Amino acid sequence: MTLEMKNLTKNYGNYCALNSFSITLTDGIYGLLGANGAGKSTLMSLITDNVQRTSGEILCDGKEILKLGKKFRQKIGFMPQQQGYYENMSARAFILYMASLKGINKKEAKMQTDKLLKTVNLEKVSHKKIGEFSGGMKQRVLLAQAMLGNPEILLLDEPTAGLDPKERIRIRNFISEIAEDKIVLISTHVVSDIEFIAKEIILLNQGKLVSHDTCQNLVSEIVNKVVEVEIEKEELKYFQDNYRVSNLYHNDDKIVVRLVTDNPPENHKITIATPTLEDLYLYVFEQGM
């Protein structure tokens, strides 16, 4: 399957949320990275046709999705960043309700609901009201409903927000397992969630496509731009004000700062560090690329 976007644009009045965005997606996981307001959620809303585009095309296997209509929507599973809940519904009842909206028959809906509740580690509390759940548990309910019907295209907007590290790893591994024959687009600020499972990273900045490539190729663009510098404690504020500091740690009576920079400081001992996707994120969205 291919999902192709051609010059996709969305304006809200004078504000351009997505600007002539073009890309072709095939089976596999794509990580969508960008600062707040970059256009990530807008892109997903356009793909699901929840928002009317200003211009451009979205093609599924060469056919315009607006013409495919219901046939295309049946291929999609969508986990929005925010969604209203029926607070008095149990997790099981909510997923069964969403299954009925997707036209899944009762027998199949029950089987899928049981399996998905186990997958997202909610089977033991599935009878409890959603209103009693933590934010992370609510996220898992949303992920489960997105998987109903075994969709061919899975759109996940901040899927691990509010999850503890163990749950994040569990969900990340699950997504990786099911992605072989699906197009999976994950929007996230948790860079580690996609660094090792995404076949490509898509970088969006102020509605424009900055770049897209494998994580390895993108990170290679900032080789020699990531350094570690040992500084005195009283120098820390200066470095925080004048450099992109991606990390720091104490080393006896000194501090070692990790900097992402084109111009490393002079008069300090500098160690070249191996760049990561998190370093790339900081480099791109702090200064552009």
Which are the contacts of 236, defined by CB distance < 8 A and separation ≥ 6?
Answer: 248, 255, 257
Checking if the pLDDT of 122 tops 90, the result is yes
What pLDDT score does 229 carry? 95
| pLDDT of 242 strictly over 90 | yes
Rounded to an integer, what distance in angstroms lies between the CA atom of residue 79 and that of residue 145? 8
More confident residue, 92 or 161: 92
| DSSP state letter for 129 | B
What is the bridge-based pairing of β-strands 76-79 and 153-157?
parallel
pLDDT over 90 at 135, yes or no: no
201 compared with 161, residue with greater pLDDT: 201
- Does the pLDDT of residue 289 top 60, yes or no? no
Q: What is the pLDDT of residue 261?
A: 95
Sheet containing 153-157, strands listed edge to edge, beginning at the edge strand earlier in sequence: 76-79, 153-157, 183-187, 28-33, 200-205, 208-213
- Percent of the chain, pLDDT > 90? 73
Contact predicate 119/95, CB 8 Å: no
Band (pLDDT 50/70/90 cuts) for residue 80 is: confident
Lowest mean pLDDT across 89-93, 165-169, 278-282: 165-169
Residue 173 has what pLDDT?
85
| Cα–Cα distance for residue pair 243/269, rounded to 1 Å | 16
Tell me what the mean pLDDT of segment 211-236 comes to: 95
In terms of Cα–Cα distance, which of 189, 274, 204, 154 is closest to 8?
204
What is the mean predicted confidence (pLDDT) over 47-56?
95
CA angle 37, 42, 46 (to 5 degrees): 170
Angle at 27 between CA 23 and CA 33, to 5 degrees: 50
Round the average pLDDT of the chain to a whole number and report it: 92
Model confidence at 226, pLDDT cuts 50, 70, 90, reads: very high
pLDDT at 288 over 50: no
Backbone angles phi, psi at 11, to 5 degrees: -110, 140
pLDDT mean over 165-184:
86
Contact 227, 258 (CB under 8 A): yes
What pLDDT shows up at residue 121? 87
- Higher-confidence residue: 158 or 43? 43
Query: Structure tokens of 172?
Result: 């990340």
Using the predicted structure, report yes or no on whether residue 271 has a pLDDT greater than 80: yes
pLDDT at position 256, please? 95
φ, ψ (nearest 5 deg) of residue 46 = -70, -40
User: For 3-42, what is each residue's pLDDT tens digit?
Assistant: 999 999 999 999 999 999 999 999 999 999 998 889 999 9
Q: Is the pLDDT reported for residue 252 higher than 90?
A: no
Q: What pLDDT does residue 82 have?
A: 67
Q: What is the pLDDT of residue 83?
A: 67
287: pLDDT strictly greater than 80: no
Q: Where are the beta strands (DSSP E) in 117-243?
A: 153-157, 183-187, 200-205, 208-213, 226-231
Dist. CA 236–CA 46, nearest whole Å: 44
**Helices 91-101, 106-119: crossing angle, 10 deg rounding:** 130
Place of tokens 């997923």: 95
Rounded average pLDDT over 95-109: 94
